[in-house]
Structure 1
């Protein structure tokens, strides 16, 4: 048994002798499941890890290999997440300001003891072929793209980048959503 195992090792050594250096390749594939050769290009880590060697960030040209690059990526991802939260709130605010069409529809509804009550519905909207709606559409596309970028960054499973996404989202919500909460509270009391 030991002899056949040893022969298997020799055959591996002969095949890897054509690819220099033979001692480096097994260490690379063992340490990172997403590194490796051409066959493993699509593999990526499926567990959280903290590191900054060979971390691919969205595009093939954006590869983090040093602590300084990871620090820069952390700041960039953090700011992208803050911007995403601000964009969501800005779109809501812009929508409230650009609502141009207001209609009131009243309809009779049965009330208590056979009485008739008038119920009024307020419909607020904007025209489809208008600059505000076109702007909302473009901002929506930008918001969706950024949200998918943030999701893909989180899916690198790199702990530093995941913290940057979460911290940026939390900071953005803290900075921008407090006005939204006040507006929602006021309108809830008016109904």
Structure 2
């Protein structure tokens, strides 16, 4: 067992070289299982942003924010209803399915990014969802007539105090 860096229970990597089955220890990047703070992290893709500097980490955070924001926009937009009007049920169903698949795919990307356990990524994901909900899902920017007509939302009912 490899007892380096708190990686108990993890087997060392093995590699066959020239037909021999020798054991070679490679540098393994430790996967965090608790939240950590810092700009050296791998988010979604191998080696990104990793050790490429604070600017690339900031770009990764903006990317996660935009993904979460897009999930909220797709969740609350009337795009599905607008594209389905005046077309056949089959075409409307295909468009709805594609938009749903895109929304779910983006939501899973946000979830996987949060699973990097980086505190900045977590905060940006929550902030993107929050701003998206504020702009597209909350009552703040809706007309009073829209609130009564929009009974078909997927949001949970407001909490009663």
Q: Identify the TM-score tier after normalising by the shorter chain.
A: 0.5 to 0.7
From 171, 174, 183, the equivalent of 2:131 is 171
Is 1:140 aligned to residue 120 of structure 2?
Answer: no
Greater C-alpha radius of gyration: 1
Q: Is the 8 A contact 1:32 1:45 kept in 2?
A: no
Which stretches in structure 1 are left out of the alignment for 5+ residues?
1-25, 102-125
Mapping 1:13-52, distance limit 5 Å: 29-30=4-5, 38=26, 40=28, 44-52=31-39
RMSD: 3.2
From 63, 67, 74, the equivalent of 2:54 is 67
What TM-score, normalized by structure 2, do the two folds share? Answer: 0.65
Question: Who is 1:18 aligned against?
Answer: none
Which stretches in structure 2 are left out of the alignment for 5+ residues?
13-24, 152-161
Query: Counterparts of 2:135 and 2:75 in 1: how far apart (Å)?
Result: 12
Question: Relative to structure 1, is the Cα distance of residues 180 and 39 closer, same or farther in structure 2, using a 3 angstrom cutoff?
Answer: farther
More helix by share: 1
Is 1:153 aligned to residue 140 of structure 2?
Answer: no
Q: Is the 8 A contact 2:61 2:120 kept in 1?
A: yes
SS at match of 1:157: coil
More strand by share: 1
Query: Counterparts of 1:173 and 1:96 in 2: how far apart (Å)?
Result: 19
Query: Counterparts of 2:31 and 2:129 in 1: how far apart (Å)?
Result: 24
